């Protein structure tokens, strides 16, 4: 008899490149590890404010390190991350509120499409994200109209508050619910520790079953 899947929650924001790395690794392992992966779109700016943290990219040395680190990690994990030329204006000015409300609306109305739409937003194909994920123009327009509704705003706020209650000070955050205990892991580089908690084997960021398809 196959044991019931263990529940993992992934709190993420498309503004966070490390969230994308963790997202892809967990998506690759969800069947191999028999986990129920619950994607939880959250607002990183609100988590930073609540915890008193600041984006590392605001510090020049960290920003320089960040660009090289993400480039190398993208190659290692086989995720096509490209630093946008307007990265700092995106971080400081544009933010991710509209994007995360859109993903919250997707989760409420079409939850099975959340993984694909999230991935497309990370790919920075913003105007074509819903279309490339297989969503009709009518569906996408309907969701865009919902992003300002109280339902979507409240859902995003509640999810973000949940991440804060778990102790989040940034994203991504993976929360594992195991044997009545809750384990909060920060960052995209805690997968080996997660495997240990699950009693599973860590086979690198691109496990053999996935690597054979690439």
Which tens digits make up the pLDDT trace of 189-209? Answer: 999 999 999 999 999 999 987
CA dihedral 211→73→101→144, nearest 10 degrees, is -60
HEC readout, 127-141: HHHHHHCCCCHHHHH
User: Over pLDDT 90: what percentage of the chain?
Assistant: 66
- Cα dihedral 154, 160, 166, 167 sign: negative
Which of 101, 108, 112 has the alpha carbon at shortest distance from 135? Answer: 112
> Could you tell me the pTM of the whole model?
0.90
Among 16, 96, 118, 188, the active-site one is: 16
> 185 and 170 in contact (C-beta within 8 Å)?
no
Give pLDDT tens digits for 91-112. Answer: 656 788 999 999 999 999 999 9
> How far is the C-alpha of 137 from the C-alpha of 108, rounded, in Å?
18
What domains can be seen in the chain, in order of their start residue? 6-198 (3.40.30.10)
If we measure between CA atoms, which residue out of 161, 175, 173, 166 comes closest to residue 47? 161
pLDDT at site 59: 83
- Determine the Cα–Cα distance for residues 37 and 6; give it in Å rounded to an integer: 8
Verify whether residue 19 is a known catalytic residue.
no
160, pLDDT greater than 60 = yes
Question: For 26-40, what is each residue's pLDDT tens digit?
Answer: 999 999 999 999 999
Instruction: Band the pLDDT of 125: cuts 50, 70, 90.
Output: very low
State mean pLDDT over 99-127: 87
pLDDT for res 80? 86
């Amino acid at each position: 008899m196959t044991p019931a899947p263990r529940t993992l929650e992934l709190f993420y924001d498309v503004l966070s490149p490390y969230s994308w790395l963790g997202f892809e690794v967990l998506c690759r392992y969800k069947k191999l590890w028999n986990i129920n992966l619950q994607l939880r779109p959250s607002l990183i700016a609100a988590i930073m404010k609540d915890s008193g943290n600041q984006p590392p990219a605001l510090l020049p040395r960290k920003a320089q390190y960040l660009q090289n680190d993400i480039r190398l990690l993208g190659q290692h994990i086989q995720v096509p991350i490209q630093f946008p030329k307007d990265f700092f204006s995106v971080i400081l000015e544009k933010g991710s509120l509209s994007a995360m409300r859109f993903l919250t609306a997707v989760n409420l109305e079409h939850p099975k499409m959340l993984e694909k739409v999230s991935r497309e937003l990370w790919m920075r194909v913003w105007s074509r994200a819903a279309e490339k994920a297989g969503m009709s123009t009518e569906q996408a327009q309907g969701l865009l109209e919902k992003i300002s509704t109280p339902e979507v705003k409240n859902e995003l706020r509640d999810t973000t508050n949940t991440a804060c209650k778990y102790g989040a000070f940034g994203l991504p955050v993976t929360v594992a619910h195991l044997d009545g205990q809750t384990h909060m892991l920060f960052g995209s580089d805690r997968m080996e520790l997660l495997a240990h908690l699950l009693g599973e084997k860590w086979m690198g960021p691109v496990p053999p079953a996935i690597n054979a398809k690439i």
